[in-house]
């Protein structure tokens, strides 16, 4: 049986005023504290994940506020009617 291929995925969001940004999604069971993002000198926050092939929903948590990725055009509604971004790895 072949090993599942994993791919490096870079999540980025521009939020120069933010104090803390977290990455949350189906890949981490929507954890609010598992994937902190790092801010660079331009105010862009980044997190690299190594993910197996699949379809994932995610959002950023910017200073406690759940936020869709403005750079991701693929948006889906969850079962509560909220919008999440979706990526296919």
pLDDT beneath 50, residues of the chain: none
Number of domains in the chain: 1
The three-state DSSP-derived secondary structure of 5-53 is: CEEEEEEEEECCCCCCEEEEEHHHCCCCCCCECEECCCCEEEEEEEEEC
Residue 36, domain member (yes or no): yes
Which pLDDT belongs to residue 79?
86
Which pLDDT belongs to residue 1?
54
Cα 83 to Cα 1, 12, 38, 44, 77: the distances in Å are 37, 18, 24, 22, 4
Query: Is 63 within 8 Å of 19 (Cβ atoms)?
Result: yes
The whole model's pTM is what?
0.92
Which pLDDT belongs to residue 56?
97
CATH number of the domain residue 69 falls in: 2.60.40.10
Residue 84, domain member (yes or no): yes
Residue 1, domain member (yes or no): no
Residue 59, domain member (yes or no): yes
In terms of residue numbers, what domain contains 51? 6-88
């Amino acid at each position: 049986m072949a090993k599942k291929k994993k791919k490096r995925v870079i999540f980025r969001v521009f939020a120069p005023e933010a104090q803390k940004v977290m990455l949350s999604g189906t890949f981490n069971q929507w954890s609010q504290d598992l994937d902190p993002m790092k801010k660079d000198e331009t105010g862009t926050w980044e997190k690299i994940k190594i993910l197996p092939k699949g379809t994932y929903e995610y959002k950023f948590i910017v200073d406690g506020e759940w936020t869709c990725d403005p750079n991701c055009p693929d948006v889906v509604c969850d079962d509560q009617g909220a919008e999440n971004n979706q990526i296919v790895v």
